[in-house]
Chain A
Amino acid sequence: MLPLLEKVMLNKLYKLKDNVIFWVFFGLILRYVLGLYTSEARDDQIWIYQALNASYGLGVYHRWDFAYPPVWGYLLGIFAKLFSLIYDPRNFSSNINELYDISLKTLSVSPITPSPGFNFITKTPLFIVDLVIGYIIYKFVSEKSCSKEKSIIAFNLWFMNPLVIYSSAIIGKFESVVCFFTFLSIILLYKKYYFFSGCTLMLGVLTKIFPINLIPLFLIIIFISNKNKITHAISNIFTFSLGSLVSAVLILSPLFLTYTFENCLTATTLRVHTGLIVGGLSPWAVRYLLGYEWIEKWANRNSFLIVNIQEILIILAMFFLLVIIWRNISRPYEKYLWYGTFYILLITFLTMFILNPPYLVWVVPILVVLITQDSDYETLSKSFNKIWQLSFLIILSFVIGQLLNSRLLILLCIGFLVSTILLEEKNLMAVLISIVVSSLIFYFSLRGLEIIFTPLAAFSKVLPMQTIINQTVSFWNWPGLGTRFFRYDLHFISALLGIYGMILGIFISIKKLKEKSL
């Protein structure tokens, strides 16, 4: 009786795996389980301030806490405002005195810790956005491939992607929101809904400024897709621009009407005026190496120069893309849209002064669409499993390595991971894997693994706060091999891996742009 029951259950489970609804529920439950008692140590403080401002009746830029364009402020604010009608805003966070010492030592941990209630408020919009992106991928891939299995695996490559889950659920970054608007804009342009494409791209720009780099490419693509009729081309470019303009005016009008637009401009350009911090997964990661520490101070003093160099490099890369398009103008515009966008985003990442790992989430939906076009179901399924196996290995190596106080174990695992990725076939799946793995290594090595559980220690009795503090301090002080600290070693290794993935992506996109086939 029991084996039969087991067999029936297993069969049912196996069938469930092929149902997208199962993954939707599983993904959402996983996100809430991971998300309610975890937080990013520094940025959450800004979200808490912003949520309180909105709840107490202040606009996004009345106080100087928020240094981003307004869309995420609106989203976070509206959720906070609505929830504060039933949930006491005073319970959004707690000031943990024990964390002051570690925050002084690291300058990157905040004693203000978000409560599970606040995590629910701030992460729910991100989960919704994750789900909507997953739906768009699922629908688009099923339209293109007419394969249910392929669309489910494409959905999972996004929705169950460890990097996406980490970014939205654990550290609560709003990269999914930028990604959503950018990706939707590409799909709408592909479908020739020019007004809405312009509209959503502007929403992306007003979430985080970088999608602005896509505007010239989109204008060229609109022109190419209507190249036989110049009047159509001009009218469609006008429609796209009108969409962007309407979007910008309506989104920014509350700021104009409350006289806070100037604050918005100052806040979003503040980093340039007050000194840049360089590093992350960008080539500036060289500053982590011994003997190159001066780069950090130099960059801080030469912010404008760095921003100018970044702009020049992007313009040169765009010009190069334009030459490729010009020489192959007879090819279908769809190719330029997908690979061109992918190319521009990767160039944007590589030239950034600081590339925070979650930014890489922006390219994941594009990568997923491109990968599913080229690969069969079996390969996709294997690659999905591989991403999770490697991610588990990273988590395990950090957990066991930190518990045993063993740098060697972590290094061995990271070395194994890197060599596995380098030995992969040089295709877009390798790009996706290297992006995911490098981002996870960088983030885990930023402050150690334990620090993300401060809400768990602060709002439950599961984990003592002192354990988190001790582990973090010990990880923070591990001396490095080629750098000052061990965590810098890991930053540098992960940056190399990330840069490898991005350069590989750029080469593949250039190759594909030159190919005759679609």
Chain B
Amino acid sequence: MMKDAYVKIAFFSFLFIVLAGFVIHFFCLTPSFSCGYKIANNHIDFSFYIYFYYPMTINLLVLEENFPVEIKKIFIYYDKNYTGPEKRTAWGLFDHLYSELQIRNYQGNIKMIATQELKSILIKKLVSSQENSLSEAIVLNTMAFPEIFQELGIFIKEWVNKGGILFWIVGKSKFEAQNLTSVFWTKQLILPFYKDCVASKNSFGSKALDLHYPFIFNGLDISMVNFLKGKVLGKIKYRTTSVASIPLGKGYAIMFGGSMPLSSKDIAKDIAQLVISNAFCSNIKQCKTYKIRRFKKESFHEEINYKFFKLNQNLIIYIYQIGEQATFFKKIQILIED
């Protein structure tokens, strides 16, 4: 039977595809990584070893955690009964965020919620008398806000005040964005742009965290972000940034200065990076970039000066791959004790 050329072609192409499937899924030369640290008088000797089969660039971040943060639940708001992002954009954000968090070994839950569930989440926290920790995050898109905000704006603000984390994609409309942010802050935070609304220059935050979201349709005024004791985390252009984290009571509002249609994947990656590193509420103390060559056993040594850190506090070392579709992320927590 195999004498016929057609059968041979069929057989070998079939074999090739089957083998390709198995090789892709099971022949993963996963990177070798190990690390260790020694606490000396006023510094930590941190060393790590790495071996990869493809070249890459990695960042090492040292972050000081102001207070313990662990986001256990992330809710993405989408309700088809209200104006808002298209269904495919909202689900795109959900799917991308889910996979980006999984790849970063996230242990919490992520869920899509509609208006009714949003209300109950807000009310649950507001009526709770417990000391609130930063354990819940909501992702909201401004395009959904006008109707929702009339009802819930003040509750959302109170929810953040009581320790909620709000990821807020402020949208394209200047009028809506300015009106809505005024519910949160008395001074105007938004600087709208209609042309050249893509920022490409890195801020310290976006470079350290490799954040990609570039849009500044409703850019966040950097001087206002600083005035509100926030952090500039996005790309910058003119006097604005594309992403900023602003403390509000016991919680944080992390603002994205534009809309989603083109960038739900970028937003998802950036949110995942912020959730895992806790950089939206921590101070980045050190940042260093390393170039890793393929098939080379590379070992590095980093001296972390901890005399500036408060005692009995967590220090986070976050080592991760830079660039599109990165898959290598390691987070090490060290408790600074007396």
CA distance A251 to B20 in the complex (A): 9
**For residues 20 through 61 of chain B, which have their beta carbon under 8 Å from a beta carbon of chain A?**
20-30, 53-57
Q: Is A75 part of the binding interface, using a Cβ–Cβ cutoff of 8 Å?
A: yes
Report yes or no: A187 in contact with B6, Cβ–Cβ below 8 A: yes
Task: Enumerate chain B residues within 8 angstroms of A81, measured Cβ to Cβ.
Answer: 23-24, 27
Q: With A70-B21, A75-B17, A254-B25 in contact, is A136–B326 under 8 Å at CB?
A: no
CA distance A57 to B95 in the complex (A): 20
Report yes or no: A90 in contact with B56, Cβ–Cβ below 8 A: yes
Report yes or no: B13 in contact with A203, Cβ–Cβ below 8 A: yes
Report yes or no: A250 in contact with B103, Cβ–Cβ below 8 A: no
**For residues 51 through 78 of chain A, which have their beta carbon under 8 Å from a beta carbon of chain B?**
52-60, 62-65, 70-71, 73-75, 77-78
CA distance A73 to B24 in the complex (A): 9
Kindly report which residue of chain B lies nearest to residue A267, judged by CB atoms: B95
Report yes or no: A93 in contact with B54, Cβ–Cβ below 8 A: no
A232 to chain B, nearest CB (A): 17
Stretch of B85-93, B280-288, B307-315 contacting A (4+ beta carbons < 8 Å): B85-93
CA distance A77 to B23 in the complex (A): 9
Report yes or no: B21 in contact with A254, Cβ–Cβ below 8 A: yes
Q: Is B115 part of the binding interface, using a Cβ–Cβ cutoff of 8 Å?
A: no
Q: Is A162 part of the binding interface, using a Cβ–Cβ cutoff of 8 Å?
A: no
CA distance A112 to B14 in the complex (A): 33
Report yes or no: A193 in contact with B6, Cβ–Cβ below 8 A: yes
Q: Is A409 part of the binding interface, using a Cβ–Cβ cutoff of 8 Å?
A: no
> Which bucket holds chain B's interface residue count?
35 or more
Q: Is B10 part of the binding interface, using a Cβ–Cβ cutoff of 8 Å?
A: yes
Q: Does more than half of chain A's interface fall in helix, strand or loop, or is it mixed?
A: helix
B80 to chain A, nearest CB (A): 10
Q: Is A275 part of the binding interface, using a Cβ–Cβ cutoff of 8 Å?
A: yes
CA distance A33 to B67 in the complex (A): 58
CA distance A58 to B104 in the complex (A): 13
Task: Enumerate chain B residues within 8 angstroms of A74, measured Cβ to Cβ.
Answer: 17, 20-21, 24
Kindly report which residue of chain B lies nearest to residue A92, judged by CB atoms: B324
Task: Enumerate chain B residues within 8 angstroms of A191, measured Cβ to Cβ.
Answer: 4, 6
**For residues 191 through 219 of chain A, which have their beta carbon under 8 Å from a beta carbon of chain B?**
191, 193, 196, 199-200, 203
**For residues 305 through 338 of chain B, which have their beta carbon under 8 Å from a beta carbon of chain A?**
321, 323-328
Report yes or no: A200 in contact with B10, Cβ–Cβ below 8 A: yes
Task: Enumerate chain A residues within 8 angstroms of B325, measured Cβ to Cβ.
Answer: 49, 52-53, 56, 58, 63
Binary contact track A95-106/B, C-beta < 8 Å → 1, others 0: 001001101100
Q: With A53-B325, A63-B103 in contact, is A203–B17 under 8 Å at CB?
A: yes
Report yes or no: B88 in contact with A257, Cβ–Cβ below 8 A: no
Task: Enumerate chain B residues within 8 angstroms of A139, measured Cβ to Cβ.
Answer: 5-6
CA distance A59 to B29 in the complex (A): 13
Q: Is A89 part of the binding interface, using a Cβ–Cβ cutoff of 8 Å?
A: yes
Report yes or no: A196 in contact with B10, Cβ–Cβ below 8 A: yes
Task: Enumerate chain A residues within 8 angstroms of B87, measured Cβ to Cβ.
Answer: 273-275
Kindly report which residue of chain B lies nearest to residue A48, judged by CB atoms: B324
Task: Enumerate chain A residues within 8 angstroms of B18, measured Cβ to Cβ.
Answer: 250-251
Interface residues in chain A, defined as those with a beta carbon under 8 Å from any beta carbon in chain B: 48-49, 52-60, 62-65, 70-71, 73-75, 77-78, 81, 84-85, 88-90, 93, 97, 100-101, 103-104, 107, 112, 132, 136, 139, 180-181, 184, 187-188, 191, 193, 196, 199-200, 203, 247, 250-251, 253-255, 257-258, 266, 270-271, 273-275, 300
Q: Lowest 4 A-B CB distances belong to which pairs?
A: A274-B88, A57-B28, A52-B325, A78-B20
- Could you pull out 11 A-B pairs where Cβ atoms are within 8 angstroms? A54-B24, A56-B54, A62-B102, A62-B103, A71-B17, A88-B55, A107-B261, A193-B4, A247-B14, A255-B25, A275-B86
